[in-house]
Amino acid sequence: MWAIELPPFVPFFVAAALALVTRGQLRNVIMLAAPVLGGLHLLAVPEGIHLQMSFLDYELTPYRVDKLSLIFGFAFHIAAFIAILYALHIKDTVQQLAGILYAGSALGAVFAGDLLTLFVFWELLALSSVFLIWARRSTRSFFAGIRYLIVQVLSGVVLLVGILFHASETGSLAFAEIGIGSLAGWLILFAFGVKCAFPFLHNWLTDAYPEATPTGTVFLSAFTTKVAVYALARSYPGTELLIYVGAAMACFPIFFAVIENDLRRVLAYSLINQVGFMVVGIGIGTALSINGAVSHAFNDIIFKGLLFMSMGAVLHMTGRINGSDLGGLYKTMPRTTILCIVGAASISAFPLFSGFVSKSMVMSAAIEEGYGWIWLMLLFASAGVFHHAGIKIPYFAFFAHDSGIRVSDPPLNMQLAMFIAAVLCVTIGVNPSILYALLPYDTGYSPYDATHVLAQTQLLFFSALAFVWLNRRGLYPPELRSTNLDVDWVYRRLVPTALQRLFARLNVITELNKTLAAKLSTLSPLVARQFSAEGIFASTHPVGAMVKTVTVLLALYLVLSFV
């Protein structure tokens, strides 16, 4: 194999540079070639450290390959290929470059062997992805992008501070297990948590992803959170706190997702919910649960991508994405409908679809380790996923009441991308050993035993029954044009309003000053003049003032030396 020391992000960055100077078909070929060639190259790369250099006083390892990074590497190559194919019809240089750089940065982060390299790609992820949001070129997306960028860069700064502390405590920059035993550990966990959309830190995701372009969201859904999941799996496996955080992540978005009208925002909430399963898996920390978390990340990249692609196709063809505006599209978009249902079945973990073979691993691990309550919460979350992502998405977009919109299936490249993703979902679901071979641990786990299949089918069946019953009785939350309050209300409404009030108060003080000044000038014009612009207190004599400062400082030094 040639050029083993070539890190996987290089082909992507090179392709981005080439894409900048090419146009049309040639550019398309170059962009598609990057993930294909990079992926094939990765297949032949053996495990180990392939690149090392010294920087400051540390040994940096920008390219380290082991089982954990490999599986994410493969997933990212597949996701990049699908997303690039899906976006092939776009003639927007900014978007195309941002997408490919973003994918490259994610690969750089996953194969980083030291924290400093991780930090660099961490920030590159933020900087490249924000253009996918801004590329929609609307005021809304611009401000959503700014908010997104602030949060992401902040996460990077916290990460850097954590790394600094970590380096000065341990003298090592290795990107390995860190744990929460020190302040550095907490800081780094916080930084990872922001990117991973922990509860209360998650708003950047639901805020920004639905504002991105139809193709941009497909990129976004694949990389940022999964890099964070990888980082957690690398540095915090078996941290019990993560179990509870993950369980909360799996449950709370369900309520928001059920009442949300913007279908891409529904998917953004369900993205957090799926990441919750992975975080629980990492928190449990056994071989089985880590395997579950990692394989679920792999599958989620594909089926969540598929769902975002189908909704992107709807948005692209109709220009609308609110559930209340859509419906009845199955008549003219049959292929998109079917592909969307495959994605929905996968995310709901139907047997024979990919979600089933990975999600059950996390749940089994929870039971094995005696986390009964957590298991119940995950069960509830599974039922919820089926509700909002498995039924709601296809139902309101393609069926429900007929909106009268008649559009055809999307361009061929979009269909092809969705088709590839759907094939992968089914293939992995039917033959999970392909995926299991890539996993970091060998557990000999088999998802297709009677209990699992039966329990899951029952769950799905009753969940579907509940949906039908609620819908029949008119109890199901209707699709309304509304704004749902989430935690971001605190920093987008509460704090600004409070500050405004505060400044209004300050204004009162200014007013008071003005009246005082007026009083003063009527009392004694002479004194008042000294405070005005020409008065002795306010005028500037830079040279004279400087000399005075020098004298004062010298006197200070002298006094200090003799005391």
User: Which region, judged by CB under 8 A, interacts with other proteins, from 18-26, 48-56, 65-73, 326-334?
Assistant: 48-56
Site mask for other proteins (CB under 8 A), range 49-88, x = bound: -----xxxx-------------------------------
Interface with other proteins by CB under 8 A: which range of 1-9, 95-103, 114-122, 524-532?
114-122
> Taking the complex as a whole, how short is the minimal distance between the CB of residue 548 and other proteins, in angstroms?
10
Kindly state whether residue 187 participates in binding other proteins, applying the rule CB under 8 A.
no
Q: Could you say which of 14, 120, 258, 453 contacts other proteins (CB under 8 A)?
A: 120
**Residue 448 Cβ vs other proteins, minimum distance, rounded to whole Å:** 48
Applying CB under 8 A, the span of 38-46, 214-222, 378-386, 540-548 interacting with other proteins comes to 540-548
Only one of the segments 233-241, 322-330, 447-455, 541-549 lies at the binding site for other proteins (rule: CB under 8 A); that segment is 541-549
Classify 346 as helix, strand or coil.
helix
Kindly give the residue spans of alpha helices, DSSP state H, lying in 135-262: 139-170, 183-196, 203-208, 214-235, 240-259
Residue number with CB closer to other proteins (54 or 483): 54
Neighbours of 324 (CB within 10 A): 17
**In the complex with other proteins, which residue's Cβ is closer, 370 or 542?**
542
We find the least distance from the C-beta atom of residue 554 to other proteins, in angstroms, to be 5
The reply on whether position 186 binds other proteins by CB under 8 A is: no
Q: Is 20 in the site for other proteins (CB under 8 A)?
A: no
Q: Closest approach of Cβ 178 to other proteins, in Å?
A: 18
Q: Which helix (H) or strand (E) holds 63?
A: strand 58-65
Residue 478 main-chain phi, psi, to 5 deg: -70, 160
Position 139 contacts other proteins (CB under 8 A): no
Angle between helices 263-284 and 214-235 (to 10 degrees): 10
**How far is 219 from 81, CA to CA, in rounded Å?**
10
Which residue, 158 or 366, is less far from other proteins as judged by CB?
A: 158
Cα(201)–Cα(199) distance, integer angstroms:
5
Q: Is 116 in the site for other proteins (CB under 8 A)?
A: yes
Q: How far apart are CA 389 and CA 80, in angstroms?
A: 23
> Based on CB atoms, which residue is closest to other proteins, 485 or 546?
546
Of the listed pieces 245-253, 257-265, 371-379, 555-563, which binds other proteins according to CB under 8 A?
555-563
Q: Which stretch binds other proteins (CB under 8 A): 199-207, 491-499, 506-514, 544-552?
A: 544-552
* Closer Cβ to other proteins, 54 or 515, answer by number: 54
Under rule CB under 8 A, residue 454 binds other proteins: no
Contact assessment for residue 282 and residue 237, using Cβ atoms and an 8 Å cutoff: yes
Is residue 279 within 8 Å of 246, Cβ to Cβ? yes
Report DSSP letters for 259-304, one per residue: H--BHHHHHHHHHHHHHHHHHHHHHH-SHHHHHHHHHHHHHHHHHH
How far apart CA 20 and CA 97 sit, in angstroms, is 7
Which segment (35-43, 71-79, 165-173, 215-223) binds other proteins by CB under 8 A?
165-173
Contact 112, 440 (CB under 8 A): no
Q: And the tokens for 259?
A: 């009442």
Q: Which residue has the tokens 């990057």?
A: 34
Q: Report the distance separating Cα 106 and Cα 61, nearest Å.
A: 16
* CB 557, min distance to other proteins, A: 4
Structure tokens at 451: 């209990």
Residue from 25, 139, 168, 510 touching other proteins (CB under 8 A): that is 168
71 contacts 294 by C-beta, under 8 angstroms: yes
Q: How many residues bind other proteins (CB under 8 A)?
A: 28
Contact yes or no for 217/209 (Cβ under 8 A): yes
* Binding mask of the shown chain, residues 144 to 163, with x at each position contacting other proteins by CB under 8 A: -------------x---x--
Asked whether position 480 contacts other proteins by CB under 8 A, the answer is no
Question: Which pair of structure tokens corresponds to residue 23?
Answer: 């146009």
Residue selected from 165, 186, 330, 419 as contacting other proteins according to rule CB under 8 A: 165
CA gap 538, 549 in Å, rounded: 16
- Which two structure tokens, joined as six digits, stand for 470? 């609620």
Nearer to other proteins, 174 or 466 (CB): 174
Range in contact with other proteins (rule: CB under 8 A) among 235-243, 315-323, 498-506, 539-547: 539-547
Between residues 165 and 255, which has the closer beta carbon with respect to other proteins? 165
Least distance from C-beta 499 to other proteins, angstroms? Answer: 18
Q: Where is 52: in which H helix or E strand?
A: strand 48-55
What DSSP line would sit under 94-111, residue for residue? HHHHHHHHHHHHHHHHHT
User: Residue 164 CB, nearest distance to other proteins (Å)?
Assistant: 6
- Examine residue 444 and tell whether it contacts other proteins (CB under 8 A): no
Q: What are phi and psi of 560, to 5 degrees?
A: -65, -30
Question: Does residue 546 touch other proteins according to CB under 8 A?
Answer: yes
Q: How far is the CB of 58 from other proteins (least distance, A)?
A: 10
Segment contacting other proteins (CB under 8 A): 92-100, 117-125, 490-498, 505-513?
117-125
123 versus 300: smaller Cβ distance to other proteins: 123
One residue of 138, 170, 458, 549 binding other proteins per CB under 8 A: 549
542 binds other proteins (CB under 8 A): yes
Compute the half-sphere exposure of residue 206: CA atoms within 13 Å on the CB side of its CA.
30
Q: Note whether 378 and 277 are within 8 A (CB).
A: yes
Specify whether the CB–CB gap between 87 and 95 falls below 8 A.
yes
Name the burial class of residue 359, with classes exposed (0-12), middle (13-18) and buried (19+) by CB atoms within 10 angstroms of its CB: buried
**Amino acid type, 134:** W
Residue with Cβ nearer other proteins (142 or 476): 142
Q: Per the structure block, which two tokens stand in for 224?
A: 């940022």
Binding status of residue 164 toward other proteins by CB under 8 A: yes
Per CB under 8 A, residues contacting other proteins are 54-57, 116, 119-120, 123, 157, 161, 164-165, 167-168, 542-543, 545-547, 549-550, 553-554, 557-558, 560-562
